[in-house]
Each structure stands twice: as C-alpha cells, then as structure tokens.
Amino acid sequence: MAETAPAYVVGIDAGGTRTRAVLAELDGGRVRGEGAAGPGNALTVPGPSLADHLAEAVAHAVPEELRGRVVAVAGGFAGAGHRAQGADEPGRLRARAALTAALARLGVTAASVGVHSDIETTFAAAPGHPADGLVLVAGTGAVAARIAGRVPTATSGGDGWLLGDDGGGFWIGRAAVRAALRAADGRGVPTALVRAVGRDLGLPEEVLPPEGYGLTGATVWSAERRTAYRAGLLPAVMDRPPVRLADHAPVVVRTAEERDAVAVRILQEAARHLAETVAALAPRPGEPLVATGGLLAPDGPLLSPLTERLAPLGLTVTPVADGSPGAVALARLGRF
Amino acid sequence: MAETAPAYVVGIDAGGTRTRAVLAELDGGRVRGEGAAGPGNALTVPGPSLADHLAEAVAHAVPEELRGRVVAVAGGFAGAGHRAQGADEPGRLRARAALTAALARLGVTAASVGVHSDIETTFAAAPGHPADGLVLVAGTGAVAARIAGRVPTATSGGDGWLLGDDGGGFWIGRAAVRAALRAADGRGVPTALVRAVGRDLGLPEEVLPPEGYGLTGATVWSAERRTAYRAGLLPAVMDRPPVRLADHAPVVVRTAEERDAVAVRILQEAARHLAETVAALAPRPGEPLVATGGLLAPDGPLLSPLTERLAPLGLTVTPVADGSPGAVALARLGRF
C-alpha cells in the first residue's frame, strides 16, 4: 500500500497587536509549525502591510516543501465583521484581499480560504470547538456576541473607545487617569494608583503624592504638588492619541493586586460592565461562554470577578489564550 | 466750566463660539456700543484669527471718533489660565499678544490692558461685581473655580472632553449617543431620545425606533432595524471630531422637556456631576456662586436641578448670560 502524503491546514489569528499562523495536519490535532508577524487588524492596518504581515507569519509557519500540501486556510481578523454584517462587510473584504495576495505570493494554493472575524475564531478555539454559544473579547475594547452555527447573530458592546467598549483596557486606563485627576483636585483619594499613573506619564517624583498616603506619619500631598501634578498630567495625556489611555490598564491590575482600593474598585466596575455586556445577549443557563483578550485570557485579571458575576446567570467562563486553535478548527471544517 | 470729554472702557468676552465686545463710560453703567465676531478661545483659535476676531468685535463696539478716549480694556478668554497658573500661562500669553495687535490696528491706545480667564470675568459679571466666591462654567466643558481677590485660587473639573468635564455639553451629548447605542443592542430602552439622536445624525426614518415605543399598539423596533440603526450611527459619529458629540446636548434638553425618561435621567446625572465639581472646592454656606454657559445661563436647563442640589450646601446660584459685564467691571478696576 502506497504511503499517503498528509494534507495540512493553516489557522491564522490576526489581531490588533500581532498576526499568528499555525500549521496542523488536516486529520490530526498536532501543531506542525508556527509563525508570527506584525498587526493584522483588517480595518486599521493598510492593505499592503496586512498582506505582508500575513505572508510573513504563514511563511514562518509553513516550510516551503509543505506549501503545496495545504488544503484549507482560515483566518480570524480583528476589525472584520464584529457586527454580523456578513461577507460583504468592509473589514472582511479587505482581509480576504490581503490573505489571497499573501497566499499567492507564497505559493499556497489551498482550495478553501475562509475569512472570519476574530470573534468567530475565538469562540471556535474552546475545547470541543462548539458551534453555538456566547463569546466575550476584552482587550483594548470589549465586545460580546452570540454565535449560532459558528457565525455571530447578535453583538453587544464593541462601540469603540469614544462611545463604548465599557470594561475594556481603554475604559480601565481612562478610569485610572480620571481617578488621578480627581485625587489631584480634591474629589478623590491619592492612593498608590495615583502615584503609579503619574510615574507612567513621566512626572517627577516631587509632584507625586507621598508614599503611604493616609498612613500615620506620612506627609500630606500639598496643594502646590497637586497643582503641579495636574498641570503635568494633562498635557502628557493630550499629546498622545486618545486610545493610548489603554496603556494605563496594566498599572491598575498591578496596584489592584497590592490591594489599592481605587484600583480594585475600577476592576470591579470593569467586570460589572463586561457582565452587563454579556447579559444584553439574553444568555441561557448552561450555554458555553468563551472569553479572551488581555483581561480575560487564562490567568487574566478580570477572569475571576467576571466568573463570580456571571454565575447567577448559570454561565461558566472558558478562557482561551487566542483564536488560532479556532482558526485551525474552522479551516478543517471549511475543507469538507 | 469747560465740559469734560468722557473716558471709556472696553470689556471683551472671548468664548469658544464667539467674541463679544462692549463699550461703556468709565464712570457710568450704561453700555454705549456692542460688537461681536468669531471664536475667541485663546488656546484653540490660531493667533492671527484671534487678533482678527478681537479687532472686528472692538471695531463694531467702539466708533472711530471714540477710540482715542478708551482708557482701559479688559478681556476674559476661554482657554486662558483656568488653572490659576498666572500671567505666564500659554493661553494668557497668546491672548495678550492677539489683543495688543488688535488694539494697535484700531488705534486704541488704552493705558491699561487686562487679560483674564473667562472664569474671572464671569465671576465679576454678577451683580455687585464680587471679589470672592465660587464660579461654575458649563458649556461644552465644565469647570468650577474658587475666586479670591478676583483671581482663581483653585479649580475643579475642566479636564477636557477625553478625561473630565463631567456634566458639560460634551458629556451630555455623549451620554445621549451611548443611550442610543445601548437601546439598539438591547441594554437600554428606545425612547424618543433614541429617535431624535438618530434623526440628528441623518439616519433614515425606516431604521429609527417607531414613535411611541412602549405604548400599547406601537410596533416594536425590530432586530433588523436596530442593527441598521447601529450600523448607521457609529460611522456617522466616528467621521466627526469627537468634540462634536456636544452637538447632541440640545436634543437631550428638548426631549427632557417632553418628559423623556432617559433624557431626564441624563440631565439629572449631569446636574449631580456639576454639583460635585462645585463641592470639591469646599464651599462655605452663603458664599456667592456665579454660573454661566449654555446649560446654566439664566433659563439654562440645568439651572433648576443644580440649584436644588446645592441648596443643602447653603449655596444659591446666580446665573449670568456672559462675562462681558464682568470684563467691563475689571477694565474699570484696572484703570485705577
């Protein structure tokens, strides 16, 4: 009996920060190659760069001698059709054009090329690759969706930093800077978070609130220092694009771990917003809920407070690290 | 006895929307001339345009034959030193340069030229031209200050649309669009406000929630229409500068007058934020509190809810239409 050369599939996770590609055998579970490259958001990365990043990630994942044996490719793209708009949605059209160009450049002639939103591949990344349930992605933004037959049929949140995305990284970072400003003008308390935000923004030590504010013996934060803090903080924030406020989310997580009262409250509030975003999809008890993003991946800081808030709705959260296993699963399904 | 030719003063109110100039006799109360021109924010209007707008407003207010008799000019500028930073604050420097150029161009050779923030002139615009107390300006933004000896010694709020200004016009307009999006994805209720916001943004009638939502017999807002509403609303907002969200404040005021529950709640919340901004200045019972801006001028929509919230602190609100009478008062004082 002649040995059959195995066939392969490629799964791609194209996110706002990086593009990952994974090579796997069509029939088996094992990952045979991996590659990564720059950002892959279908709406914000210009078309030629998007094609370059896709080609680079796929080239690393798929050795040249196997490129003719790839039978199916599936990619999940940030910026592609969060809103269940279907195949003619602008992000999907751009993603398909870039992916087609990248594969042609590498000589990958897969018969099946699937373009999905990152929501779909994230959901499919859960163990068992479910077809129906709920998904929540909380990175810089925050969006939830109901998936039926592997496609989103309704979404909640995901309205961008200016109007929504409540509970995501931008929301958390903005809340931290707001708390700092409120402390500086007397409407809030200058906890360790306020020190940390000031330090992140490059303010000099002498304008920060003194360490151990509120403890006996600690010096107070004088009116002069408060004014200088605020006068330094505002232009430091305003000179950057607004979305950079998300840079302050990690400091909230860190100070919350040290039991900073303001940081803890911000994360609790964020978890409440995320739970509300899921609840707007009218979940049924026992439905699968798959979650990902910097805040909700395995060990993510919001995973445990969110789990607590969703338990009364009969939901348990399954965190996944990224969507590439889901993309591999969708590639395999697309093959048949 | 020879008749003495009267001397004059000019007061200028230079705001984000327009620049007003008023001519008055040095010794008397009567306004002898008025002029208006384009925006006068010292930070956002480019220097040459600022000088043009100032010159145009002053030229209308002061007939040519009286220009040599102006002994003092005072201007209150938006964007000039809300933060009690003193005379070398960037907005003040720009305002002084533009005002000096404008007066030179017109042949107004006043010995005294005072440059103030709009907060100072607003406060001085109250009856009796007080020297000490509190002031609250709520237009697109929202800022409060404590005034001592006619200069601000502490401020609260006023951190700009991205981080603060809670309760101001931007905050209200953003709250309206957020409420509309929440209604569209099932987290909120599609009241008349949601119709009005959609209409403001040019969405077609067939995607708006049906009139009289919630009343018996009214048709429901179908999932397809909700999705189309949201898909139309988001790009309409995103294609404009973020600050244009303030454009939706008037529709909140209008629908609140018609008892729209969501609009009423937004305005109540705005009044709460404004009261909190004032409270951060640790007011003393009986202190004067002068208020102005589109939301708080005489007959402004937030005047009555704010008055209610501040009564327990022993504060009564004195609304003023604009800062030009205060600028006239400061010009008279600068003369001596």
Q: Is the pLDDT of residue B82 over 80?
A: no
Greater confidence (A151 vs B83) lies with: A151
| Highest mean pLDDT pick, A30-39, A237-246, B235-244 | A30-39
Interface contact A186-B282, CB threshold 8 A: yes
Tokens standing for residue B302: 């937030």
pLDDT of A70 reads 95
Average pLDDT over residues A128-147: 91
Contact residues on chain B for A282, CB-CB shorter than 8 A: 186
Enter the DSSP assignment of B283.
P
Average pLDDT over residues A226-238: 86
Q: Percent of chain B, pLDDT > 90?
A: 57
Domain B8-125+321-335 bears CATH identifier 3.30.420.40 = yes
Average pLDDT of the residues in B328-332: 93
Cβ of residue B68 closer than 8 Å to a chain A Cβ: no
Give the CATH H-level superfamily of domain B132-319: ATPase, nucleotide binding domain (3.30.420.40)
Cβ contacts of B316 within 8 Å, gap of 6 or more: B289, B307, B310
- The pLDDT score that the predictor gives to residue A216 is 54
pLDDT score recorded for residue B169: 92
Burial of B34 (C-beta count, 10 Å sphere; 0-12/13-18/19+): middle
Residues A54-69 have a mean pLDDT of: 96
Confidence band (pLDDT; 50, 70, 90) for B203?
very high
Determine whether the interchain pair B163/A234 forms a contact, defined as Cβ–Cβ distance below 8 Å: yes
Share the mean pLDDT of chain B: 89
Q: Indicate whether B36 pLDDT > 70.
A: yes
Whether A164 and B154 lie within 8 Å, measured CB to CB = no
ipTM attached to this prediction: 0.77
Nearest residue on chain B to A84, alpha-carbon basis: B227
pLDDT of residue A214: 57
Do the bridges between strand B288-292 and strand B316-319 make them parallel or antiparallel, or are there none, so unpaired?
Answer: parallel
- Which of chain B's residues have a Cβ under 8 Å away from the Cβ of A155? 185
Instruction: Tell me the mean pLDDT in the region A31-53.
Output: 92
**What pLDDT is stored for residue A213 in this prediction?**
64
Nearest to B184 by CA among B174, B170, B172, B198: B198
CB contacts, 8 Å: B178 with chain A: 159, 163-164
Q: What would the pLDDT profile of B225-282 be if each residue is shown by its tens digit?
A: 888 898 888 888 888 888 889 999 999 999 999 999 999 999 999 999 999 999 989 9
Contact B22, B11 (CB under 8 A): yes
Give mean pLDDT, residues B155-173: 89
Rounded to whole angstroms, the Cα distance separating B204 from B228 reads 10
> Quick one: pLDDT at residue B212?
72
Percent of chain A with pLDDT over 70: 93
- The model's confidence at residue B313, banded by pLDDT at 50, 70 and 90, is very high
Q: Where in chain A is the domain with CATH 3.30.420.40?
A: 8-125+321-335, 132-319
Q: Using pLDDT thresholds of 50, 70 and 90, give the confidence band for residue A16.
A: confident
Check residue A12 and give its pLDDT: 97
Average pLDDT, chain A: 89
Give the per-residue pLDDT at A218: 56
Contact A231 B83 (CB under 8 A): yes
- Output the pLDDT for position B188: 83
The average pLDDT across A9-16 equals: 93
Q: Per-residue pLDDT tens for A156-168?
A: 888 888 888 899 9
pLDDT band at A177 (very low <50, low <70, confident <90, very high): very high
Kindly report which listed range (A182-196, B91-105, B123-137) carries the lowest average pLDDT score: A182-196
pLDDT at B3: 58
Instruction: Please write down the HEC assignment for all residues of A175-220.
Output: HHHHHHHHHHCCCCCCCHHHHHHHHHCCCCHHHCCCCCCCCCCCCC
Per-residue pLDDT band at B75 (split at 50, 70, 90)? very high
Q: Compute the distance between CA of residue A159 and CA of residue A202 in angstroms, rounded to an integer.
A: 31
